[in-house]
């Protein structure tokens, strides 16, 4: 029988929910395995001004109070954390008496990965972390260069206290690997293949991934055009919240978010 003549399986609501929970279990296993992956090579260092202020400029705080979900005291504590991260990264750069490398101002990719992994608990796939870094809003700089304090604070605001719509947009942008406005079957395959653990004895492990892609696509593709737009994704996640991080963890757990926010309060009280 030709592939086109194969009957399409009918999935009940109960079976669909069970399958979605299976996706979450598969992805959780993949995240545990990701802890063993080697660190990526350090990024190219960029020249910039030194951080020498103990508190952010008043105008910066005023703007961020309006555009983020942090208050003034939290922003000051976050700035202190930002300064320490930048200073630690600068101190780790090898020095040369003849030709010292320029110091990077801002959060570089290596520091970003460390905070996401160790502090916010994002034990996720390399492709997801890379996309999270690239898609982080940098203002006029787009997705290039280190993260200065303003975009760092705005991005953390979404991660830690983002609205449902902000969280959906963040995850969608991460999964849209080529940033063309759609999550395609190829992108789903790439993300899920990196997430799932290969089982011993599997003759064609990719076949299982392709089956999973077809299952998730049927859940996400509202207009049935073979790809997932932001509107498709938004509608599907509103109906089934398990689909929010269907292709890899992009957001910290409530526990990790709460612990990070408590750190801000503690740091501010100890100033």
Residue ranges of the domains in the chain? 29-269
Residue 38: Cβ-neighbour burial (10 angstroms; 0-12, 13-18, 19+) = exposed
Contact by Cβ (8 Å): 151, 138:
yes
Q: Return the structure tokens found at 71.
A: 């208050």
Number of helices (H) and strands (E) in the chain: give both, helices first. Answer: 11, 0
- Encode the chain (271 residues) as per-residue pLDDT tens digits: 444 454 544 444 444 545 555 555 555 555 554 444 444 444 444 444 444 467 889 999 999 999 999 999 999 999 999 999 999 988 887 766 566 556 667 999 999 999 999 999 998 788 899 999 999 988 665 556 889 999 999 999 999 999 999 999 999 999 999 999 999 999 999 998 877 655 555 566 788 889 999 999 999 999 999 999 999 999 999 999 999 999 999 999 999 999 999 988 776 666 6
Q: Model-level pTM?
A: 0.76
How confident is the model at residue 268, as a pLDDT? 62
The Cα 51–Cα 153 span in angstroms is 16
Q: What is the second-level CATH architecture of the domain 29-269?
A: Orthogonal Bundle (1.10)
Of 138, 111, 127, 155, nearest to 251 by C-alpha is 155
Burial code of 151-175, b = ≥16 C-beta within 10 A, e = fewer? bbbbbbbbbbebeeeebbbbbbbbb
Output the pLDDT for position 194: 75
Predicted local confidence at residue 3, as pLDDT: 45
Q: What is the pLDDT of residue 90?
A: 85
Terminal C-alpha separation, the chain: 73
What is the model's pLDDT at position 124?
Answer: 79
Q: What are phi and psi of 42, to 5 degrees?
A: -60, 145
Per-residue confidence (pLDDT) for residue 84, from 0 to 100: 94
Q: Is 92 left (phi over 0), alpha (psi -120 to 50) or beta?
A: alpha
């Amino acid at each position: 029988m030709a592939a086109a003549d194969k009957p399409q399986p009918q999935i009940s609501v109960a079976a669909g929910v069970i399958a979605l929970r299976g996706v979450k279990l598969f992805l959780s296993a993949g995240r545990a395995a990701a802890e063993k992956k080697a660190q990526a090579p350090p990024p190219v260092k960029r020249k910039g001004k030194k951080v020498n202020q103990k508190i952010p400029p008043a105008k910066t705080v005023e703007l961020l109070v309006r555009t983020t979900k942090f208050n003034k005291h939290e922003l000051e504590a976050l700035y202190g954390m930002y300064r320490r991260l930048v200073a630690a990264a600068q101190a780790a750069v090898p020095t040369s008496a003849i030709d010292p490398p320029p110091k990077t101002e801002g959060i570089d990719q290596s520091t970003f990965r460390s905070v996401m992994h160790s502090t916010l608990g994002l034990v996720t796939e390399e492709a997801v972390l890379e996309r999270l870094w690239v898609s982080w809003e940098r203002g006029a700089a787009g997705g290039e260069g280190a993260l200065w304090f303003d975009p760092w604070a705005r991005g953390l605001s979404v991660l830690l206290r983002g609205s449902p719509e902000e969280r959906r947009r963040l995850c969608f942008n991460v999964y849209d690997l080529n940033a063309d406005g759609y999550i395609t079957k190829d992108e789903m395959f790439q993300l899920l293949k990196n997430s799932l653990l290969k089982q011993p004895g599997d003759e064609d492990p990719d076949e299982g991934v392709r089956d999973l892609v077809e299952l998730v696509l049927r859940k996400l593709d509202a207009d049935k055009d073979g790809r997932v737009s932001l509107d498709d994704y938004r509608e599907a996640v509103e109906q089934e919240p398990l689909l929010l991080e269907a292709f890899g963890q992009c957001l910290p757990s409530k526990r990790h978010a709460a612990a990070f926010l408590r750190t801000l309060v503690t740091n501010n009280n100890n100033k």
